[in-house]
Chain A
């Protein structure tokens, strides 16, 4: 009897033990689900800093499976991306494993774009070139990213190679592909202005180098300011002669302004060339980033 009793007891405790384990697993599963829902909520609020902190807390509380860990790294990468913390974002995306093929591939696209954005072109190209997928849209997206990367490097010939593979059947991509081709045409027709010609022009007629660069206001100002000192120096020379203090002062000022104007024309051509490149790069970045965001946000 006692023996039976003890068996009964032990069975009971086994059941209750199992139940507790079950409850604790259920709590954990439910909890993880809730935590993900809350994360999404933080994301809609735009609270990426809070969300990142919260993700670390989840990692500490629950033993996550490998697949869950992959999605956590993926989400972290995206949040750092939203906060424009490129290094941390790349770091997190790199940790996304291959268990979930889709996450892995999208993480690579994000990394490739961010490498391009931080102007590590070689690393970006390697990332894109090693990309493999069975999904034709993703392949088309990577081809588009490679084309854009070639434009960032100003490899116009390479761009046309990729652009030949552009397809119109993906409506998410087709508009951006058209825009990128527009940028290509713009770069192709862009005539670089020569700093030497600008300097030479300014040496002949002060200010004309800036006019050549398309800057009407500064060009006129250059002519007027140099002219003002030239006329005053002329006045000093006419009235007081070559050795007068007046002629020496204004003559010196005139020379300084004349030389500075030549130098200024050279610099202004370089600056506007840089500004042009910067504007084009910004347009390329935006067109690279938008389809990724549209597809995988």
Chain B
């Protein structure tokens, strides 16, 4: 009988033991999806809102570990952020998550909140500010951060000057468009593609000559319809192409700066 009792105790013990698989243990073993559910459950039954907030933050970490940054960001919006210490952690996460999900304007907004509320500049915050400013094309402000906070970022003077010497010059897509309208092909050259510009210029000059030759020889329909229509299509299409090339060029400049900065930061 005693043995039976012990078996009973053992069984119910097993049962209770099974219930103690926690979000933390799942997270540590790399089962992030399961951890996210466990955290949600722990938060649902949490005795107070403070604990609940912490658990929801952990849930966001789980989705971050899964690489679903947008969802993780949305989860952080559910945290009531009553305690100040938690608010700070959450705000930092929101900046990082917004940046990781390529929502740079959102990251910038969260960074402004941070500046208003805390004003302090840790290395992580300064790095994120630098990267965000580059992504939203506020180049002067980004350079200012490098000049002002090199020591906080633990970057030495040499690295700062090598970063500042890199290509920071962005080009204006609308300017490329206008240039190509004024003189076909020049917009492409402005965007850094000389031969594409030459080709575009030659094709359009050819079409103008074709139109003029036909009209001169009395083929008014051919000149007016085929020649002029084709010229018009290439003319506007070329200008749009010049604008797209400029946007691509700017993206390259930004990603080179970001990569160089991350290279320097990861060397430490």
Contacts and interface: CB of A to CB of B under 8 A. Distances in A.
A246 B210 CA distance: 14
Contacts of A236: 219, 222
Contacts of A20: 5, 8-9, 12
- Contact-residue size bin, chain A (C-beta under 8 Å from the other chain): 20 to 34
A24 B225 contact: no
A10 B1 contact: yes
B19 A31 contact: yes
Contacts of A24: 8, 11-12, 15
Interface string B1-40: 1101100110110011011000000000000011011001
Contacts, number: 73
Contacts of A41: 40, 44
A54 B35 CA distance: 11
A102 interface: no
A160 B29 CA distance: 61
B45 interface: yes
Interface in A41-78: 41-42, 45, 47, 50, 53-54, 61
Contact of B41 (A9, A38, A61, A231): A38
Q: Is the interface of B mostly helix, strand, loop or mixed?
A: helix
Contacts of A42: 37, 40
B221 A235 contact: yes
A34 interface: yes
22 contacts: A9-B2, A10-B1, A13-B5, A17-B4, A20-B5, A20-B12, A21-B8, A21-B12, A23-B12, A24-B8, A24-B15, A28-B15, A31-B19, A34-B45, A37-B44, A41-B44, A42-B40, A45-B40, A50-B37, A228-B225, A235-B221, A236-B219
Interface of A: 9-10, 13-14, 16-17, 20-21, 23-24, 27-28, 31, 34, 37-38, 41-42, 45, 47, 50, 53-54, 61, 228, 231-232, 234-236, 239, 246, 250
